Amino acid sequence: MKNVLSLSEVWKIYDLGEVKVNALRGVNIEVNQGDFIAIKGPSGSGKSTMMNMIGCLDVPSKGTIKLSGIDISTLEESDLAQIRGKKIGFIFQKFNLIPTLTVLENVMLPMMFQGVPKSKRIAKAKELLAMVDLSNRLNHLPNEISGGQQQRVAIARALSNDPEIILADEPTGNLDSKMGVVVMEFLERLNKEFGKTIIMVTHDDNLSKFAKKIAVLKDGQIVDFRINENQISILNNNNNNNN
């Protein structure tokens, strides 16, 4: 199995003058192609900091982070931005859609930053929006569609540059439970049918059941990293029902 991400003895220390905060303390984790990993833990456990490390939004104080074999631990922001654009697709709790751009334009935007020609941007964006069942909303603004539809636009946008990793930060946090299940089932489909590697940061046990593996953070350390037995049971039940 191809390794797409590894964190080795990663520390993040925030210097607050007289006080130093160890947000991450020697984190080690390996992510392989096709993984669906839920990173969970209580508030203050280091989830957001770890997301920033994985998403190339920040660099560690100590340790090594390799993304597709590239050591990103000491890169400058301009280089990190290029890697983010090509290797990682982000799905945020608050959607982060540009309110003045249409649904189609929002999905096209990441491709523009990577220099994709306009005709290809339009074709790819339409293809992705069809995949998330939003072909009839191309010219709508974000405030003209529902929260669940906005999150599906965000998923399509995350896929626009065909990233190796999809990083989802509390992806159903602003949705009701019914629409949250729809979004999670779609992420599950991306993983199972399209082979996308998904890393999801959450505090919600109901979301982590969709993942293949669960990493538990506490006080900046991974205290448990395991295969999700509930996921295996779900898969086995589905297979038995299909036989």
Residue with structure tokens 């529902």? Answer: 146
Q: Does residue 30 fall inside a structural domain?
A: yes
How far is residue 51's CA from residue 49's CA, in Å, rounded to a whole number? 5
Q: Does residue 60 fall inside a structural domain?
A: yes
Q: Does residue 151 fall inside a structural domain?
A: no
**pLDDT value for 243:** 47
Which of 176, 122, 117 lies closest to 149 in space, CA to CA? 176
Q: Does residue 9 fall inside a structural domain?
A: yes
Q: Does residue 155 fall inside a structural domain?
A: no
Domain around 17? 3-95+164-242
- Dump the DSSP string for 19-43: EEEEEEEEEEEEEETT-EEEEE--T
Q: Does residue 205 fall inside a structural domain?
A: yes
- 10-residue mean pLDDT profile of the chain (243 residues): values are 92 90 95 95 90 90 91 85 88 90 96 94 96 94 94 94 92 84 89 93 86 94 90 48 48
Q: Is the pTM higher than 0.85? A: yes
According to DSSP, the residues that pair with 225 across neighbouring strands are 215
How many domains does the chain divide into?
A: 1
Element at 49 (helix H, strand E): helix 47-54
Q: Does residue 216 fall inside a structural domain?
A: yes
9-33 residue pLDDT tens: 999 999 988 899 999 999 999 999 9
Which of 144, 53, 72, 49 lies closest to 106 in space, CA to CA? 144
SS3 222: strand
Q: Does residue 76 fall inside a structural domain?
A: yes
We report the CATH number of the domain holding residue 21 as 3.40.50.300
